[in-house]
Amino acid sequence: MSTTEELEVKREGLNRRIMGNALRIAFAHDVKSHEQFLEHFPPSALMEEFLKSDEDAELRGIILAKTVYMPEKTARGLPAFVAGHILQTAYKEREKDATAEFIVATDTGSKNARVTPAMWAERIPATALWSFITHGDWWEVGNAAQNENVQTDLITYALEHDMLMPDSVIDRIGIRQLTNELTKDEVEELVSDALKIGTRNKAYAGRYIVDLLKIPRIVQVMGSSIIHTKVIAPWAETMGLTDKPVVAAAAAQGSPPTVAEPGRKRTRTLAHGETPPDDKSADQGWSSPPGTGVDESPQTQALGSKS
């Protein structure tokens, strides 16, 4: 297996973990419902497309036993298309336990065969699940605190599992825009922290800002619309959760790439797994950076404040 193929396999594994957690978060905070899941992925399709293998016969049996009271052993022996037809009909006719909750996340079954969001994330393509989760632009409407909680959980999970770098979070938001939304006390605290780090001959990177302010506060002050546009959506593209291609060649060479930014005389270092912001980046050239860092920092940008 080539290095590129190994990276692709690793990325797919990460994406399954991401989507299993993202589904759980979306359901937990009610930005998505089990009913909406079945509107996007009808019961018949779940059985016929995503649980069609012989290895998934146990899962088909578990779902049918739970929803239509069919003996599990009998249900296991049914072809996937038959199981799909039975489940689709039962759900359409609103049979007592043929509910979306039971179908999507019963959390029942054996140790190695449990019906959970994580199970579906193992079988449904990550791009399809991400399309479902982001459908409807919920971050633009609805309860702001609820939306921010979803985004906080998503970003925190990605940071904790090294799927997203804190430097990238701050880099994408922009230090000037962030400090414009902070209180005067918070800005002063950032300046004090930057000076303290500077005395150690270290650059004041985004990770220090994230450590100081914490993700919930950053999401709160920026708002869910900006966080989605500037942080989550670009991150999803770099992880291959959208239909846009992922650039992995530089990562395979063992060094992060840089990309020239339009209208600027310098390049910035792309975070781990990050791709250029648009397709034109390919024409701007790639190079190995002399070092890493955050595009903008309190040392290079004037700090604004909000009283």
pLDDT tens track for 148-195: 999 999 999 999 998 999 999 999 999 999 999 999 999 999 999 999
Do 162 and 211 share a domain, yes or no? yes
- Residues 91, 174, single domain; the answer is no
Residues 195 and 170 placed together within one structural domain of the fold: yes
Same-domain pairing of 190 and 159: yes
**Both 154 and 282 in a single domain?**
yes
Q: How many domains does the chain have?
A: 2
Note whether residue 128 is domain-resident: yes
The answer to the question of residue 302 being in a domain is: no
Do 176 and 193 lie in a common domain? yes
- Residue 66: CB atoms within 10 A of its CB come to 20
Give the range with max mean pLDDT: 29-33, 99-103, 226-230, 240-244.
226-230
Residues 97 and 231 in one domain: no
Residues 8, 58 within the same domain = yes
Whether 300 maps to a domain, the answer reads no
The pLDDT score that the predictor gives to residue 289 is 36
Task: Tell me: do 12 and 43 sit in the same domain.
Answer: yes
Report the C-alpha dihedral over residues 178, 179, 184, 189, rounded to 10 degrees.
Answer: 100
Q: What is the predicted pLDDT for the residue at 125?
A: 92
Q: 80, 99, 134 — which closes off a domain?
A: 134
Residues 121 and 257 reside in one and the same domain: no
Is 119 part of a structural domain of the chain? Answer: yes
For 16-73, the pLDDT digits (tens) are: 889 999 999 999 999 999 999 999 999 999 999 999 999 999 999 988 988 888 898 9
For the ranges 70-79, 223-232, 274-283, the lowest mean pLDDT is seen at 274-283
- pLDDT surpassing 70 at residue 244: no
Per-residue confidence (pLDDT) for residue 229, from 0 to 100:
96
CA atoms within 13 A of residue 4's CA, in its CB half-sphere:
5
* 155 and 268 within one domain: yes
- State yes or no: pLDDT of 212 exceeds 60: yes
Percent of the chain past pLDDT 70, that is, above it, reads 73
Q: What is the pLDDT of residue 49?
A: 94
Model confidence band, residue 7 (pLDDT cutoffs 50, 70, 90): low
Residue 296 within a domain: no
The range of the structural domain enclosing residue 113 comes to 3-23+30-134
Question: Does residue 161 sit in the same domain as residue 93?
Answer: no
Last residue of a domain, one of 79, 112, 134: 134
Q: Is residue 18 part of a domain?
A: yes
Is 76 part of any domain?
yes
Distances (CA, A) of 12 to 239, 248, 259: 9, 13, 25
Which of 103, 134, 165 delimits the end of a domain?
A: 134
Residue 273: inside a domain: yes
